[in-house]
């Protein structure tokens, strides 16, 4: 596959903030485009993000022009070329966002050349040893109540998610989720006496002040029971705890907690809410001991690394091997290329760590992650509330 030309265009994400779209053209006159989302609660080891001005500077374009006219046999060889061209540890020269845009567009071009669906192509390219299912039925991680940095309310926890089992049919499950999301809205309107539209956070979940960090769990558990969904809906949290960690303490519910105290808080939440299955980033990325202390004391629950592992195969290996995580978030833009994201997935699978392919809080219309999830038969798919721009990912899931 030879790249004839490319462009880097400024577009805006779901928060109206600047991000990049990368287009590449081939000698047959075809063009392939990909756009890159943006995170707000970011891990410190994520690939660097260049703003549009630097991304499209004469210097950067000149450097990137080295991809033109070259023949790359695989996504991996293309990505390796980009990595060499960048030459830095965290992709700050070319920009991890720019590199990912190239990498996804190249994968799309290759899939087209092979006459394959993107998921089929990615499967052959990276995940040959994993059986490719005709219908992928991931657990959908849907964030229905937003807090933390994603909302303007008093919740320290960033995301209160329902985990929807789709094994009995994806479309029906999505329909149930939409119904559940709407009935949650009705309930919250009554409970908080809000006559008009409810305020929502960055990922489409409702954003209100609650009595404490666990009141949303009571509301969600009760509603799941009331709607007879206890068999197919569970609960999950993304604490994004780096955002409330300061000076070796967690500022949680207005109190300063030690790692041990926060661990106890989570352990009692698991007891109090039997539907609670997973907690993502329960502790700061600089506090892996916290993860270990909780994971060693629970059975059948999932502790998920996100800021801790930043879609990096060595970090996944490191934290899986010390017993800090048994689940991991995969966000291609944390890694900066498709092949590095794929290798983080493989690293997780090798160690029995469940992979959850995830969006970012600032999203674009790009639905690449859905194909990546199917290609790797990932356990979960985290794509926000079934509303507004988030709906694009749900619809792509129905398509593939
Ligand atoms: C997270 C993500 C997505 P952000 O923390 O998991 O939900 O948020 O994209 O802001 O990092
Ligand atoms: Mg997270």
Domain membership of residue 129 (yes or no) is no
Domain membership of residue 273 (yes or no) is yes
Which tokens hold the place of 236? Answer: 């999950």
What is the CATH classification number for the domain harbouring 365? 3.20.20.120
Q: Are residues 375 and 322 in the same domain?
A: yes
Which domain, by its residues, includes 289?
Answer: 139-399
Q: What is the mean pLDDT of the chain?
A: 97
Q: Are residues 223 and 92 in the same domain?
A: no
Domain count, the chain: 2
Q: Which residue has the least CA distance to atom 3 on ligand 1?
A: 360
CA 107 to centroid of ligand 2, rounded, Å: 26
CA 304 to centroid of ligand 2, rounded, Å: 9
317-354 pLDDT, tens digit per residue, is 999 999 999 999 999 999 999 999 999 999 999 999 99
Mutate to test the pocket of ligand 1, among 236, 360, 383 (most ligand atoms within 8 A of CB): 360
Which tokens hold the place of 265? Answer: 């808080």
**Statement: residue 1 has pLDDT above 90:** no
Q: Is 300 helix (H, G, I), strand (E, B) or coil?
A: coil
Show the CA angle centred on residue 151, arms to residues 327 and 206, nearest 5°.
85
93-109 pLDDT, tens digit per residue, is 999 999 999 999 999 99
Whether ligand 1 lies within 6 angstroms of the CB of 243 is answered as no
127-163 pLDDT, tens digit per residue, is 999 998 889 999 999 999 999 999 999 999 999 999 9
H helix and E strand count, the chain: 14, 14
Ligand 1 atom at minimal distance to the Cα of residue 43: 11
Ligand 1 atom at minimal distance to the Cα of residue 202: 10
Element holding 35 (H helix, E strand): strand 31-35
Give just the sign of the alpha carbon dihedral 254, 197, 41, 222.
positive
**Statement: residue 84 has pLDDT above 90:** yes
What is d(CA 135, CA 169) in angstroms, rounded to the nearest whole number?
9
Domain membership of residue 125 (yes or no) is no
What is the CATH classification number for the domain harbouring 52? 3.30.390.10
Whether ligand 1 lies within 6 angstroms of the CB of 240 is answered as yes
Domain membership of residue 239 (yes or no) is yes
Ligand 1 atom at minimal distance to the Cα of residue 37: 9
Percentage of the chain exceeding pLDDT 90: 98
Please tell me the pTM assigned to this model: 0.97
For residues 245-269, give the mean pLDDT. 97
Angle between helices 391-399 and 170-191 (to 10 degrees): 160
SS3 helix, strand, coil % of the chain, rounded to 5? 40, 20, 40
Q: Are residues 110 and 162 in the same domain?
A: no
Ligand of minimum distance to the alpha carbon of 161: 1
7-40 pLDDT, tens digit per residue, is 999 999 999 999 999 999 998 999 999 999 999 9
Q: What local confidence, expressed as pLDDT, does residue 245 receive?
A: 98
Does 1 or 163 have the greater pLDDT score? 163
Going from the C-alpha of 112 to that of each of 109, 302, 367, 384, the distances in angstroms are 5, 37, 16, 29
Q: Are residues 209 and 172 in the same domain?
A: yes
Q: What are phi and psi of 92, to 5 degrees?
A: -80, -15
């Amino acid at each position: 596959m030879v790249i004839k030309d490319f462009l880097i265009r400024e577009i805006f994400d779901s928060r109206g903030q600047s991000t990049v779209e990368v287009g590449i053209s081939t000698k047959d006159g075809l063009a392939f485009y990909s756009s890159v989302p943006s995170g707000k609660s970011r891990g410190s080891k994520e690939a660097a993000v260049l703003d549009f001005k630097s991304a499209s500077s004469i210097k950067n374009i000149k450097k990137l022009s080295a991809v033109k006219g070259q023949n790359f046999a695989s996504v991996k060889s293309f990505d390796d070329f980009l990595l060499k061209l960048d030459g830095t540890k965290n992709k700050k020269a070319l920009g991890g966002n720019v590199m990912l845009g190239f990498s996804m567009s190249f994968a799309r071009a290759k899939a087209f050349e092979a006459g394959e669906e993107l998921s089929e192509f990615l499967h052959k390219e990276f995940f040959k040893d994993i059986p490719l299912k005709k219908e992928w039925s991931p657990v959908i991680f849907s964030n229905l109540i937003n807090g933390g940095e994603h909302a303007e309310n008093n919740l320290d926890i960033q995301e209160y998610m329902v985990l929807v089992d789709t094994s009995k049919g994806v479309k029906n499950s999505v329909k149930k989720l939409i119904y559940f999301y709407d009935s949650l809205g009705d309930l919250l309107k009554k409970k908080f006496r809000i006559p008009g539209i409810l305020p929502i956070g960055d990922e489409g979940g409702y954003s209100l002040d609650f009595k404490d960090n666990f009141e949303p769990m009571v509301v969600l558990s009760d509603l799941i029971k009331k709607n007879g969904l206890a068999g197919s809906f569970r609960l999950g949290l993304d604490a994004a705890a780096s955002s409330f960690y300061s000076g070796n303490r967690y500022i949680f519910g207005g109190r300063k907690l030690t790692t041990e105290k926060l661990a106890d808080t989570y352990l009692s939440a698991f007891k109090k809410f039997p539907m609670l299955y997973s907690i993502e980033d329960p502790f700061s990325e600089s506090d892996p001991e916290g993860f270990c202390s909780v994971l060693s004391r629970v059975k059948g629950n999932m502790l998920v690394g996100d800021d801790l592992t930043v879609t990096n195969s060595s970090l996944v290996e490191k934290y899986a091997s010390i017993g800090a995580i048994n689940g991991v978030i995969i966000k291609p833009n944390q890694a900066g290329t498709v092949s590095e994201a794929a290798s983080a997935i493989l690293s997780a699978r090798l160690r029995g760590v469940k992979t959850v392919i995830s969006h970012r809080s600032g999203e674009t219309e790009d639905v690449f992650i859905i194909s990546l999830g199917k290609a790797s038969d990932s356990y979960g798919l985290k794509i926000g509330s079934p509303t507004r721009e988030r709906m694009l990912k749900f619809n792509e899931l129905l398509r593939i």
